[in-house]
Amino acid sequence: MIKVFLVEDEFVVREGIKKTIDWEAHGYEFCGEAGDGELAFPLIQKLKPDIVITDIKMPFMDGLALSKLIKKEMPWIEIMILSGFEEFEYAKEGIKLGIAQYLTKPINGTDLLREIDAVAEKIREKARERAIREKYIKEMKEGYAKERKDLFHDLVTGSKSMAELLEHAGKLEIDLSAIWYNILLFKMQPVKQGHDEYSNRLIEIEKQIAELAESRELLLFQRELEGVAFLFRADSEEELKEKQTDLINELEHLLADDKEIRYFGGVGVAVNRMSELPLCFEKASHVFAHRYFVKESVVLQPEEAEDSLAVPREDFSLSEVNPKHMDRSKIRDFLKMGQKEEVIYFVEEFFKAMGSGALSSTIFRQYVIMDVYFCVTEFLEELQIPRDKIDVPDVSAESMQSEKSMVAYVVEIMKSALELRENAASNRYRNVLDEVIGYIEKHYAEEELSLNVLASHVNFSPNHLSMIFSQQTGKSFIKYLTEYRMQKAKELLRCTGKRSSEISVEVGYKDAHYFSYLFKKTQGMTPTQYRGGKNAEGDE
């Protein structure tokens, strides 16, 4: 119900307006009144009416001054001015402020109601337009998530200047300004299920974590299969540590009794320049790589990660080397779950556990390289990649010359292995994609069709399916679905005489206004214009 507030210094006039109209019967709530602008403004702030009817000439604060305050603080409120004929010139300034209507006194109840109805319809139309825009933004959220992901990539790689980062963030309505920064990388996965399987419990936890980040005004960035990243901002190092501690405690509390989910987090080092975020991210990534070395759920600080891999720095003796130092299970776990961007962090942390003394031995380096090589080839063969198709660099004498060259070689062959793994997965995912596209073609007319519905259908997590879909098609799911629905709509507009509202329902939009908005947004014209023979962009 639309709320109306009246400001009029003449009691008789005010009572006449209030009692002449049966407000409730006409769909209005008469929510308040005041005798001047000074009394009215705090009430308007509290009651938040949709329409304010105000006289211009009043004691203490006149209607024009009141209108300026309202439009500054609550620009959505529509204002109707009541004025005597001789005050018209004075009222012009009010009209420039965006006043909805100028009415001359005296005015009877019927005429006033007619003018209020016109303003109310304007309010309803704005509300419809706002709802349509909000729905569009919500539906395009998948694309927005990609923009956020790209912003995070730019922040932690140092690929953009501070001005470019701020401009990008501004377009996404993200405030990056702070004096201190830090990053927490965080990932969850089901204990018993495969990492690509759909888990309702996991989805619910992800939603709660997103709400937690929003309530604490933390920036949360999706990293798809790599989990999420929290960006902390604060005005002091102490405040930064407090925010980190509070979030970690909340996360641990949220997942404390959940035996179905394993989680791991890695915290970076605090920096006080935006340009130093790549250093912060690099440290967080090293700590995050420790999830392959521990079994329990934990969020590690940099110093805790160092302690967990601490080894005595003693002179090396080959006779003291235990081949178990070369834990193949950790390499295999990484080959199954890791990403190419993480290889360098995993390898450096893996070798750090052995101690620099061990790797100073040429013989031991040879042993390490050969063992990694055979571990990689065995893993790829298990993926049914024939040995002659395994494209990983052969072991060379140069790769064994120093610890640095050995690390570089291991990084190279593991990256090559992950590329082959992704190629093999891509072939398997084509079958999933065919099933997904088939489902879209069969169910596109259902308004409830969403990424979550599809993910549940193919037993994948929404984030994983989103990544696969965009990799295989080059488009986000919502972009693909919208384009498919628009193509069907264009066929119906050109080949049938059905009304636009009927076509809207047939292609999955119950709200015909939203369908028209989306059609114009994507095709550059209204459905009526398209039917009339104008060519949409890209049409012949």
pLDDT averaged over every residue in the chain: 83
List all residues 6 or more positions away from 11 whose beta carbon is below 8 Å from its beta carbon: 35
Calculate the dihedral angle through the C-alpha atoms of 429, 205, 295, 246, rounding to the nearest 10 degrees.
140
Residue 400 lies in a domain: no
**Residue 58 maps to which CATH number?**
3.40.50.2300
Residue 147 lies in a domain: yes
pLDDT of residue 30: 94
pLDDT of residue 429: 79
| Residue 513, token pair as written in the block | 């206004």
List all residues 6 or more positions away from 152 whose beta carbon is below 8 Å from its beta carbon: 221, 223, 229, 231
pLDDT exceeds cutoff 50 at 177 = yes
pLDDT class of 525 with cuts at 50, 70, 90: very high
Residue 357 lies in a domain: no
Q: SS in 3 state form for 389-427?
A: HCCCCCCCCHHHCCHHHHHHHHHHHHHHHHHHHHHHHHH
Q: How far apart are CA 406 and CA 366, in angstroms?
A: 9
Residues 149, 134 within the same domain: no
Cα angle: 324, vertex 194, 414; to 5 degrees: 45
Q: How far apart are CA 327 and CA 103, in angstroms?
A: 84
pLDDT of residue 483: 93
User: Tens digits of per-residue pLDDT, 65-90?
Assistant: 898 899 888 988 999 888 775 555 66
Residue 529 Cα to chain centre, angstroms = 34
Residue 411 lies in a domain: no
pLDDT of residue 42: 93
161-170, 228-237, 296-305, 458-467: segment of lowest average pLDDT: 458-467
Rg of the chain over all Cα atoms, to the nearest angstrom: 32
User: Tens digits of per-residue pLDDT, 411-451?
Assistant: 888 888 888 888 777 777 788 889 999 999 999 999 889 88
Residues 168, 190 within the same domain: yes
Residue 321 lies in a domain: no
**Residue 279 maps to which CATH number?**
3.30.70.270
Give the domain-ending residue among 251, 282, 310: 310
| pLDDT cut 70: percent of the chain above it | 86
Pairing type for strands 180-190 and 228-234 reads: antiparallel
Give the domain-ending residue among 293, 310, 327: 310
pLDDT exceeds cutoff 50 at 37 = yes
Q: Which of 483, 486, 481, 479 is nearest to 527 (CA)?
A: 486
Residues 116, 149 within the same domain: no
CA of 270: how far to CAs of 69, 237, 245, in Å? Answer: 43, 7, 13
List all residues 6 or more positions away from 89 whose beta carbon is below 8 Å from its beta carbon: none
Give the domain-ending residue among 112, 139, 166: 139
Residues 292, 200 within the same domain: yes
Most confident range, picked from 260-269, 306-315, 383-392: 260-269
pLDDT of residue 196: 44
> SS3 for 271?
strand
pLDDT exceeds cutoff 90 at 324 = no
pLDDT class of 251 with cuts at 50, 70, 90: very high
pLDDT class of 534 with cuts at 50, 70, 90: low
Residue 285 lies in a domain: yes
Residues 132, 156 within the same domain: no
pLDDT of residue 164: 93
* Boundaries of domain holding 17: 2-139
pLDDT of residue 537: 47
Tell me the whole-structure pTM to 2 decimals: 0.57
pLDDT of residue 152: 93
The domain tally of the chain equals 3
Residues 12, 44 within the same domain: yes
* Average pLDDT score over residue span 106-124: 88
Residues 130, 183 within the same domain: no
**Residue bearing the bigger pLDDT, 183 or 383:** 183
pLDDT of residue 263: 92
Residues 176, 240 within the same domain: yes
**Residue 467 maps to which CATH number?**
1.10.10.60
Residues 210, 297 within the same domain: yes
Enclosing H/E stretch for 185: strand 180-190
Residue 324 lies in a domain: no
| pLDDT cut 90: percent of the chain above it | 34
Is residue 469 within 8 A of residue 477, CB to CB? The reply is: yes
pLDDT of residue 47: 92
Place of tokens 């935006």: 274
Place of tokens 């990932």: 187
User: Tens digits of per-residue pLDDT, 362-382?
Assistant: 777 777 778 888 888 888 878
Residues 38, 74 within the same domain: yes
pLDDT of residue 157: 92
User: Tens digits of per-residue pLDDT, 478-497?
Assistant: 889 999 999 999 999 999 99
Residues 163, 283 within the same domain: yes
Residue 418 lies in a domain: no
Residues 18, 161 within the same domain: no
